[in-house]
């Protein structure tokens, strides 16, 4: 499929909706975290890759100071006045876009009005960050459409994160917006959540391996409350460790060698939570180095250790995710597999040799259906590039 094939249906729908063609388009990808889980709020490292699923927006400016937004996925329209931006209760999908306009205005910029059409193929709410992709796509669109070119990618990603924190009301870290903005074809991104430095790391064996995401189709309400509890437990651990290492300000500062000296003094379950974070942080660093050295075998081992630690020490796995990961570990062509995201449901991520992908899907499906009577969903992807402009033909295409 060429680039225009994917854009044409959006142009066509835009013309039907707004009676004229769009002049501009953007795309921003979803993401999967390869390793480094629950390390972000401990100021540590995460290692995500952008995936070949994305949000696309096509748009044209208008003179009225308002956003007229049409969602193709929801077949709904919203008008947002730029002079009085408020979160929508019944069409909450529009908040991810309105929130970005709101943050731009609060930062002293002056986005104008426009008509926009939004479309996406990132599964919604399965932890692949369709929300950040919406924000990043909207941010890139506004920057281009309203000549705000002095805003860097990095500042724009931070602004998109603020939109999710302040306007949508979700207390997310910076990983999702950074990778959606800064991802690179066939690369993963090592992000230091304290300094916000980010380093691209090439994926090895191009054309031979794929990232395979398996959605357990389990969504648990528990995720939010357990997530908050883990954050508190990490804080408690930090306070206990500060007594022995007064200079630390986050669990990220505790290196494995330091931890081994004092581990016996920390009571459970705080000890287990800290142990996960401290070693997971090291695994994210070692994982990036392993990929850089083409060492998929070691990377796979680190993924396995990460899952075991999330299951036994951080206790955020569930029987469904454990079943999928166990089945994956048993497939010869699978280099590594673990749960990805906050846990308690959602997806697993695996690195699989291309010749084994069909067998991999079959094996996981059989095991999962047998144990839980639920069909899993798969996404097979290469590491994709971050947000970019779409080429929109200036001649109206014949439909
Ligand atoms: P995740 O980021 O894990 O996919 P979230 O709950 O954070 O899940 O964000 C999902 C929300 O983002 C959806 O409920 C919807 O409001 C918005 N969204 C995602 N994709 C689209 C889309 N293609 N069109 C409109 N809104 C979307
Ligand atoms: Mg989200």
Q: What is the pLDDT of residues 60-84, one digit of tens each?
A: 999 999 999 999 999 999 999 999 9
As a whole number of angstroms, the distance between CA 360 and CA 366 comes to: 10
Which pLDDT tens digit goes with each residue over 323-382? 999 999 999 999 999 999 999 999 999 999 999 999 999 999 999 999 999 999 999 999
Cβ pair 32, 347 in contact under 8 A: yes
Q: For helices 130-145 and 95-106, what crossing angle results, to 10°? A: 50
For atom 20 of ligand 1, which residue has the closest CA? 130
Looking up tokens 């528990």 gives 222
As a whole number of angstroms, the distance between CA 172 and CA 278 comes to: 21
> pTM of the entire structure?
0.96
Please count the other Cβ atoms lying within 10 Å of the Cβ belonging to residue 285. Answer: 17
Cβ pair 57, 114 in contact under 8 A: no
CA distances from 32 to 48, 175, 263, 383 (A): 5, 10, 31, 9
Phi-psi region of 306 (alpha: psi -120 to 50; beta: other; left: phi over 0): alpha
Mean pLDDT, the chain, whole residue set? 96
Q: Catalytic site residues?
A: 176
For atom 3 of ligand 1, which residue has the closest CA? 127
CB of 96 shorter than 6 A to ligand 1: yes
For atom 19 of ligand 1, which residue has the closest CA? 130
| Position in ligand 1 atom list of the atom nearest CA 121 | 23
As a whole number of angstroms, the distance between CA 135 and CA 39 comes to: 23
As a whole number of angstroms, the distance between CA 37 and CA 44 comes to: 10
Domains plus CATH for the chain?
Answer: 3-201+384-390 (3.30.230.10), 203-381 (3.30.70.890)
Ligand 2 center–CA 204 separation, angstroms: 28
Which pLDDT tens digit goes with each residue over 254-301? 999 999 999 999 999 999 999 999 999 999 999 999 999 999 999 999
CB of 158 shorter than 6 A to ligand 1: no
């Amino acid at each position: 499929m060429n680039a225009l094939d994917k854009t044409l249906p959006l142009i066509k729908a835009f013309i039907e909706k707004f009676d004229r063609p769009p002049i501009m388009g953007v795309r921003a990808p979803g993401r999967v975290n390869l390793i480094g889980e629950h390390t972000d709020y401990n100021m540590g490292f995460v290692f995500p890759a952008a995936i070949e699923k994305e949000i696309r927006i096509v748009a044209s400016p208008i003179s009225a100071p308002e956003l007229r937004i049409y969602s193709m996925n929801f077949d709904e329209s919203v008008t947002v006045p730029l002079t009085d931006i408020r979160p929508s209760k019944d069409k909450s999908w529009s908040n991810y876009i309105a929130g970005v306009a709101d943050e731009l205005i609060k930062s002293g910029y002056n986005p104008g009005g426009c008509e926009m059409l939004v479309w996406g193929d990132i599964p919604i709410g399965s932890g692949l960050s369709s929300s950040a992709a919406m924000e990043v796509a909207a941010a890139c669109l506004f920057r281009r459409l309203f000549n705000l070119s002095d805003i860097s990618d990095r500042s724009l990603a931070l602004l998109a994160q603020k939109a999710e924190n302040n306007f949508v009301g979700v207390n997310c870290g910076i990983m999702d917006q950074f990778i959606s903005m800064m991802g690179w074809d066939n690369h993963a991104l090592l992000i230091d959540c304290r300094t916000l430095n980010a380093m691209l790391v090439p994926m090895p064996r191009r054309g031979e391996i794929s990232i395979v995401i398996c959605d357990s189709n389990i969504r648990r309400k528990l995720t939010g409350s357990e997530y908050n509890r883990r954050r508190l437990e990490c804080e408690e651990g930090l306070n206990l460790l500060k007594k022995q290492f007064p200079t630390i300000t986050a669990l990220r500062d505790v290196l494995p060698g330091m931890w081994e000296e004092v581990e016996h003094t920390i009571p459970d379950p705080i000890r287990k939570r800290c142990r996960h974070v401290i070693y997971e942080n090291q695994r994210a660093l070692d994982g990036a180095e392993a990929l850089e050295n083409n060492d998929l075998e070691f990377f796979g081992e680190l993924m396995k250790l990460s899952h075991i630690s999330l299951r036994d020490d951080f206790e955020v796995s569930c029987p469904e995710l454990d079943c999928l990961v166990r089945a994956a570990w048993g497939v010869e062509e699978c280099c590594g597999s673990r749960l990805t995201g906050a846990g308690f449901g959602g997806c697993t991520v695996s690195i699989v040799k291309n010749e084994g992908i069909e067998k991999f899907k079959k094996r996981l499906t059989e095991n999962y259906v047998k144990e839980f009577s639920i069909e899993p969903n798969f996404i097979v992807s290469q590491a994709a590039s971050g947000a970019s402009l779409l080429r929109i033909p200036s001649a109206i295409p014949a439909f």
